[in-house]
Structure 1
Amino acid sequence: MSAQERLLIEAAITASQHAYIRYSNYRVGAALRAVNGLIYHGCNIENASYPVTICAERVALAKAVSDGVREFDAIAVVTANGASPCGMCRQMLFEFAPQLQVLIADFYGTLHHKLPLSDLLFLGFGPTHLEK
Structure 2
Amino acid sequence: MSLQKSALSVRENAYAPYSNFKVGAAIRSEGGTIYSGCNVENVAYPEGTCAEAGAIAAMVAAGETRLSEVYVIADSPHPVSPCGGCRQKLAEFGTGDVVVTMANLDGVEQKMTLADLMPGAFGEHHMENT
Scaled by the length of structure 1, the TM-score of the pair is: 0.91
| Distance in 2 (alpha carbons) for counterparts of 1:34 and 1:127 | 20
- For residue 81 of structure 2, give the secondary structure of its aligned residue in structure 1: coil
Name the residue aligned to 1:37. Answer: 32
Match of 2:95 among 90, 98, 112: 98
Percent identical pairs in the alignment equals: 40
What is the deviation of 1:21?
A: 0.4
Question: Residues 128 and 111 (structure 1 numbering): CA distance in 2 closer, same or farther, change over 3 Å?
Answer: farther
Tell me the amino acid that sits aligned with residue 15 of structure 1: V
Q: Does 1:118 align with 2:105?
A: no
| Distance in 2 (alpha carbons) for counterparts of 1:49 and 1:98 | 33
Tell me the amino acid that sits aligned with residue 106 of structure 1: N
Gaps of 5+ in 1: none
| Distance in 1 (alpha carbons) for counterparts of 2:43 and 2:13 | 18
Name the residue aligned to 1:107. Answer: 105
Match of 1:11 among 6, 10, 23: 6
User: 1:3-82 maps to which residues of 2 (within 5 A)?
Assistant: 7-81=2-76, 82=79
> After TM superposition, what 4+ stretches of structure 1 lie above 3 angstroms from structure 2?
none
| Distance in 1 (alpha carbons) for counterparts of 2:128 and 2:62 | 26
- For residue 25 of structure 2, give the secondary structure of its aligned residue in structure 1: strand
Question: Contact 1:78/1:107 (CA < 8 Å) preserved in 2?
Answer: yes
- For residue 54 of structure 1, give the secondary structure of its aligned residue in structure 2: coil
| Distance in 1 (alpha carbons) for counterparts of 2:115 and 2:62 | 25
Tell me the amino acid that sits aligned with residue 88 of structure 2: Q
Gaps of 5+ in 2: none
Question: Residues 35 and 111 (structure 1 numbering): CA distance in 2 closer, same or farther, change over 3 Å?
Answer: farther
